Each structure stands twice: as structure tokens, then as C-alpha cells.
């Protein structure tokens, strides 16, 4: 076994970080530390999607699985009256679509793949998927870096700079005040050293555990919140 962190271990780290983030968002919204720690989760999931695309036997089945989860896992939010947009699986689905589109069109020039990626990102943003266009481009950026940590750092840094510039400019145009409302997302850069430890090995196979963890841990948190409030 190679030194470093395999895919299974990365997933464990990601779901722990996600659980911390959601615990803070639902039970302790006044404690910023939970949300800062939680910012490290999504880039790891985004990276795992790019790796999943490289190694899956069937991209179509992979996409279908994410789409079904995006729909089914929205039910707990609706049931408990939580309405904050579509869940992370919708974003992962659109990110995978962007990778597939980019990969299929890359032999047709430089412009066409990016047009397709922008179109998918705009759809994700328009329908309110978690992380929106930013999430789609992060997934695509990590895929295009091909595991090269230097390219990954540069690509993610450029993406965050563009994201900040977009929010500052759009908020200034809309309200006359430049605001970077998602400034906490800058902390997601701290996930890159963890991703850099990836050793290209799969590790243990517990696919459905990781899928089911998402709705189950949210249901538990929602119930706890109802009981204490």
C-alpha cells in the first residue's frame, strides 16, 4: 500500500468535515468555527467526483446515481421545512456533467468546451444548487489539474479570485456597496494539503454508506434541533 491517503480515507475526512459544518449551521449558527472547518469538505468531495469520473466503469450510471440522490435527499429538507436550495448532490451532478461535456468537446477547439461548462454552471446557479456555478467550476478545475498539486493550487486560487471579484462587482452594481458575502469560502483552500496526500488508491469499498450518510446525519441534526428548540 502506498503512503498517503486513499479514496476511502478522503471520503471519511470529507464526511466528518461536512458533519461539523452542518452541526454548526443547524445547531450552533453563532459559532463561526464550525463553518470555517466545514469549508474544507466541499473541495474534497469535488476532487473525489473528478477522480470518480476517471475511474468509473459507466459515467452514465454514475450521473444517474447522483441525480437520483439529488432528488431523494431533498426530501428531508422539505419534510423538516428547510428551504435553502438544492442539496450538494445536485452540484456534484452538474459538476460531473461539466467534466463530461468538457472532455467530449476538447477535440473541437478551446472555446466550445468552456461554453458548455459555462452553460452548465449557469443552470446550476439559476436553479439554486448548493455552491452554484462556483461549485461546478471547482469540480472542473480539480479535474483539469489532473492531480498536479501546483496546477491545483493555481487553478483554485484563480477561481476564488474570480468568485470574489464577481460578488464584489455584482453587489456594488446592485446595492452600491461592494460585499464579498461568501468570504468564508476562502478557508476551503486549506483542503488542498489534504487532497495533496491522495495516493491514487481506492481503499475500502463502502459506496452506499457514503451516499446514505448525507440524508441520515441531516435527519438526526434536524430532530435534535426540533427537540432543543
Q: Which segments within 136-201 are labelled E, that is strand?
A: none
The DSSP bridge partners found for residue 43 are none
Domain count, the chain: 1
Residues 114-163: tens digit of each pLDDT: 999 999 999 999 999 999 999 999 999 999 998 789 999 999 999 999 99
Residue 1 lies in a domain: no
Residues 74-95: tens digit of each pLDDT: 998 888 877 778 999 999 999 9
Residue 52 lies in a domain: yes
Contact 45, 14 (CB under 8 A): yes
pLDDT above 90 for 202: no
Residue 2 lies in a domain: no
CA distance 144 to 107: 15
For residue 81, the enclosing domain spans 7-228
Residue 222 lies in a domain: yes
* pLDDT at position 80: 84
Percent with pLDDT over 90 in the chain: 81
pLDDT above 90 for 1: no
Residue 124 lies in a domain: yes
Residue 185 lies in a domain: yes
* pLDDT at position 49: 97
pTM above 0.85, yes or no: yes
Q: Name the burial class of residue 123, with classes exposed (0-12), middle (13-18) and buried (19+) by CB atoms within 10 angstroms of its CB.
A: middle
Residue 157 lies in a domain: yes
Amino acid at each position: 500500500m502506498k503512503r498517503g491517503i486513499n479514496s476511502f480515507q478522503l471520503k471519511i475526512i470529507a464526511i466528518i468535515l461536512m458533519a461539523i459544518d452542518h452541526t454548526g449551521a443547524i445547531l450552533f449558527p453563532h459559532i463561526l468555527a464550525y463553518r470555517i472547518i466545514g469549508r474544507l469538505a466541499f473541495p474534497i468531495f469535488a476532487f473525489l467526483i473528478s477522480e470518480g469520473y476517471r475511474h468509473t466503469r459507466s459515467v452514465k450510471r454514475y450521473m444517474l446515481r447522483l441525480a437520483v440522490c439529488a432528488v431523494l435527499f431533498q426530501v428531508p429538507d422539505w419534510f423538516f421545512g428547510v428551504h435553502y436550495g438544492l442539496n450538494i448532490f445536485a452540484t456534484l451532478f452538474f459538476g460531473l456533467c461539466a467534466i463530461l461535456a468538457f472532455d467530449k468537446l476538447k477535440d473541437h477547439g478551446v472555446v466550445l468546451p468552456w461554453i458548455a461548462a459555462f452553460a452548465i454552471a449557469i443552470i446550476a446557479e439559476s436553479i439554486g444548487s448548493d455552491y452554484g456555478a462556483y461549485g461546478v467550476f471547482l469540480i472542473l478545475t480539480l479535474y483539469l489539474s489532473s492531480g498536479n498539486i501546483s496546477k491545483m493550487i493555481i487553478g483554485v486560487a484563480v477561481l476564488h479570485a474570480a468568485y470574489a471579484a464577481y460578488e464584489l462587482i455584482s453587489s456594488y452594481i446592485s446595492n452600491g456597496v461592494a460585499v464579498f458575502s461568501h468570504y468564508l469560502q476562502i478557508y476551503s483552500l486549506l483542503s488542498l494539503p489534504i487532497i495533496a496526500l491522495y495516493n491514487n488508491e481506492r481503499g475500502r469499498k463502502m459506496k452506499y454508506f457514503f451516499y446514505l450518510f448525507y440524508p441520515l446525519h441531516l435527519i438526526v441534526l434536524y430532530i435534535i434541533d426540533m427537540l432543543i428548540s
